[in-house]
């Protein structure tokens, strides 16, 4: 594919400009493309663009349009500056989106020249929306008190009353008490259907589509309107929900519910016989079949996503592409109903695949890099693609094959004089002599014959992958810009290498992965003469943070320093304080009180006596996934052992560091730590 940013750097260098290393100051200010949406006539592509408001310490999103039907067209801004606009969706020639410009999150529409018009004026925020196929109705995701029902003023008043109360206690009789970074206060995400009047405004008493399903729709904490679909005739709607009884925190079972958009009646469970995740429903163009992603094993959030087809009249069920050992991330169906499209993790890449509905044949459509969003037209696919040295831009791929063309270069000006480190993938024999893949990124200013210190990055998940993508929290190029070579390994448990490889980490958190990391670092230093294995620091977050705490005791001679972000020190304490209990109960094959030995097998707290490596500990106080006390405990352990250690904590961050200025502080602290401990001696 065309690499405009690389060309921009080449032109700058040819003109005599001095190249400079990539830095976190660049990272937090980059413009981020997402959510490309193609108009029905295939002539206009709209996408969301996140820009950084440094003074306000936040990202602000706007919508931009590219006339893809006109050669040489340049993107133009569609929404006014000053407030965020996101989630663009076409309905005919009208563009709907969410915006906070009225003071709360509401739906707006651009349906001609001039300013956007407000579609919803509700007393509560709109969490998401979906237009009916005829454009005359709109489904909204709203956070409400279930006993308030369709009386949205009731929800607003109760929330205000709760805020005004003098007492501050909240009583619970079931989990979740808190989730991700939010305390549960009794509200639920629910779906409501509004009619659009002659002026295009949502009005009247809405139909409560998810009535009778006691759960969040869309699901929490990361569910969105991809979990909701209208039938082509608009007479039915299907949505995803997890029943919110006492078992919710230890169950991954979500189901698809179909409900009439006209007649009264409660939603009907379409997937009651399936026990794992069922999500992202898509109707066939004739409305006779439904496609979705489904996991087989209850309690396992990283099982393979299978693709299912249900004939709605008969209930007949069929798996599409049952022999495909990959896990699709989302689904889109072609206009003729013959082809499904899905991005997947695949050997360290995240490409887009086409799946023939009838035969199950799979075809990879994109090359190297990460597909972060895409839109399917009659003749072309428009995808936001990034890789290890390029933030996302829109590319056009011919539907019938051919070369991809880059259409945007939103960061070309900002990166015109920036140099990135070259990168490549390599493989080695890991645990049980099985093939394991890894990446190396050379430092900026690389010179043959020199030796460079190593930033050895361990990804989280653990069922995840740190591959050929441009990451905004764990970006290898920020380390390359500081003179470190970055090395990262997709150890056993990673995704994109087959489900058996992913499953292999269960019950063995500190076993196979640690062996892969040891062998991976050894293989890298043997293969690449420029890597100085004696000057290596390891760093990781979440599971990667757990691995730092495990390495501290199980491989204490391996590194000059460690950085543990949101890491687990004590598996036992984690099992009783995290919010999504299914995670620990799957990974350790039961609860702690049932299988205590499983939690002790690779428990970092048991090896603190062997710690000696300098450690930087980082944690967010709003992290309810890996509670804040795990970070305090790791720092306490290091301090009590007399180890060189520091503790950086954020009162306003969760499991991730999201605010621009906090991100810069995070990176500067980590960079200084690595520089101090990898300096030549």
Domains present along the chain, CATH in parentheses: 420-678 (3.40.50.1820)
What is the residue-averaged pLDDT of the chain? Answer: 95
Residue numbers of the chain with a pLDDT score lower than 50: 1-8, 11-15
Q: Is 606 helix (H, G, I), strand (E, B) or coil?
A: helix
Q: Tell me how far apart the alpha carbons of residues 426 and 205 are, in angstroms, rounded to a whole number.
A: 59
Share of the chain residues as helix, strand and coil, in percent rounded to the nearest 5:
20, 35, 45
Show Cβ contacts of residue 293 under 8 Å, excluding neighbours closer than 6 positions: 277, 278, 279, 280, 305, 306, 307, 308, 328, 330, 331
Report whether 381 contacts 397 (CB < 8 A): yes
Q: ∠ at Cα 24 (527, 409), nearest 5°?
A: 90
- From the CB of residue 264, how many other CB atoms can be counted at a distance below 10 Å? 7
Q: Is 548 helix (H, G, I), strand (E, B) or coil?
A: helix
Q: Residue 5: its pLDDT value, please?
A: 41
Tokens 């009838």 belong to: 358
Q: Is 632 helix (H, G, I), strand (E, B) or coil?
A: helix
Give the end-to-end CA distance of the chain in Å, rounded to a whole number.
Answer: 44
Backbone angles phi, psi at 62, to 5 degrees: -135, 170
Q: Tell me how far apart the alpha carbons of residues 415 and 611 are, in angstroms, rounded to a whole number.
A: 42
Q: Residue 12: its pLDDT value, please?
A: 46
Q: Tell me how far apart the alpha carbons of residues 453 and 525 are, in angstroms, rounded to a whole number.
A: 11
Q: ∠ at Cα 159 (155, 160), nearest 5°?
A: 120
Q: Residue 82: its pLDDT value, please?
A: 79
**Based on the number of CB atoms within 10 Å of its own CB, is 609 exposed (0-12), middle (13-18) or buried (19 or more)?**
exposed
Q: Which helix (H) or strand (E) holds 503?
A: helix 499-503
Q: Residue 17: its pLDDT value, please?
A: 61
* Strand ranges in 377-476 using DSSP code E only, listed in sequence order: 380-387, 390-398, 405-406, 418-419, 423-429, 435-441, 452-458
Which pTM value belongs to this model? Answer: 0.95
Report whether 217 contacts 191 (CB < 8 A): yes
Distance of CA 231 to the CA centre of its chain: 27
Q: Residue 2: its pLDDT value, please?
A: 35
> Hey, which residues does 457 pair with through a beta bridge?
488, 539
Q: Which helix (H) or strand (E) holds 9?
A: helix 4-14
Report whether 219 contacts 180 (CB < 8 A): no
Backbone angles phi, psi at 608, to 5 degrees: -60, -30
Q: Which helix (H) or strand (E) holds 553?
A: helix 543-554
């Amino acid at each position: 594919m065309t690499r405009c940013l690389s060309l921009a750097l080449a032109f700058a260098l040819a003109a005599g400009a001095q190249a400079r290393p990539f830095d976190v100051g660049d990272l937090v200010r980059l413009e981020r493309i997402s959510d490309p949406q193609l108009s029905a006539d295939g002539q206009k592509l709209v996408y969301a663009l996140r820009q950084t408001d440094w003074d306000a310490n936040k990202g602000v999103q706007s919508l931009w349009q590219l006339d893809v039907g006109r050669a040489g067209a340049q993107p133009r801004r569609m929404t006014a500056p000053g407030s965020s606009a996101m989630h663009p969706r076409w309905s005919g020639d009208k563009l709907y989106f969410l915006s906070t410009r009225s003071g709360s999150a509401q739906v707006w529409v651009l349906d001609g020249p001039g300013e956007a018009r407000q579609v919803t004026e509700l007393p509560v925020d709109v969490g998401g929306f979906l237009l009916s196929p005829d454009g005359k109705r709109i489904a909204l995701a709203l956070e409400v008190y279930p006993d308030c029902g369709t009386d949205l003023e009731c929800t607003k008043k109760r929330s205000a009353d709760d805020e005004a109360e003098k007492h501050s206690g909240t009583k619970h009789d079931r989990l979740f008490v808190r989730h991700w970074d939010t305390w549960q206060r009794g509200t639920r995400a629910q779906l409501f259907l509004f009619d659009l009047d002659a002026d295009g405004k949502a009005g009247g008493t809405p139909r409560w589509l998810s009535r009778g399903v006691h759960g969040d729709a869309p699901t929490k904490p990361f569910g969105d309107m991809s979990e909701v679909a209208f039938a082509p005739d608009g007479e039915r709607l299907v949505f995803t929900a997890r029943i919110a009884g006492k078992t919710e925190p230890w169950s991954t079972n979500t189901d698809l519910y179909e409900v009439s958009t006209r007649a009264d009646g409660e939603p009907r469970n379409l997937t009651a016989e399936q026990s794992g995740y069922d999500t992202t429903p898509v109707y066939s163009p004739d409305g006779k079949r439904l496609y979705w992603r489904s996991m087989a094993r209850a309690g396992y959030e990283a099982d393979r996503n299978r693709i299912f087809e249900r004939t709605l009249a008969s209930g007949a069920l069929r798996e599409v592409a049952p022999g495909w050992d990959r896990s699709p991330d989302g689904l889109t169906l072609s206009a003729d109903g013959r082809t499904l499209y899905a991005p997947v993790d695949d050997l360290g890449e995240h490409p887009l695949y086409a799946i023939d509905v009838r035969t199950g044949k799979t075809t990879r459509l994109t090359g190297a890099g990460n597909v972060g969003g895409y839109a399917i037209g009659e003749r072309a696919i428009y995808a936001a693609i990034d890789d290890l040295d390029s933030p996302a831009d829109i590319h056009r791929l011919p539907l019938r094959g051919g070369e991809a063309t880059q259409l945007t270069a939103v960061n070309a000006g900002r990166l015109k004089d920036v140099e990135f480190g070259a990168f490549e993938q390599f493989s080695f024999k890991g645990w049980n002599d099985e093939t394991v893949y890894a990446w190396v990124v050379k430092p900026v200013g690389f010179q043959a014959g020199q030796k460079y210190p190593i930033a050895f990055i361990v990804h989280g998940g653990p069922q995840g992958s740190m591959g050929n993508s441009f990451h905004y929290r764990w970006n290898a190029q920020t380390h390359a810009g500081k003179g470190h070579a970055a090395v990262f390994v997709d150890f056993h448990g990673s995704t994109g290498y087959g489900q058996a490889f992913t499953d292999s980490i269960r019950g063995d958190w500190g076993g196979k992965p640690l062996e892969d990391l040891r062998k991976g670092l050894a293989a890298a230093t043997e293969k690449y003469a420029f890597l100085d294995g004696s000057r290596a620091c390891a760093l990781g977050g979440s599971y990667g943070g757990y691995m730092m705490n495990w390495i501290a005791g199980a491989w204490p001679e391996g590194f000059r320093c460690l950085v543990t972000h949101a890491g687990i020190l004590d598996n036992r304490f984690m099992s009783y304080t995290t919010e999504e209990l299914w995670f620990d109960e799957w990974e350790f094959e039961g609860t702690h009180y049932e299988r205590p030995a499983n939690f002790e097998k690779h428990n970092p707290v048991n090896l603190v006596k062997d710690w000696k490596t300098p450690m930087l500990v980082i944690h967010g106080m709003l992290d309810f996934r890996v509670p804040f006390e795990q970070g305090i405990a790791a720092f306490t352990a290091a301090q009590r052992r007399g180890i060189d250690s520091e503790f950086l904590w954020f009162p306003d961050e969760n499991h991730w560091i999201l605010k621009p200025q906090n991100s810069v502080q995070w990176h500067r602290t980590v960079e200084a730590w690595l520089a101090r401990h990898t300096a030549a001696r």
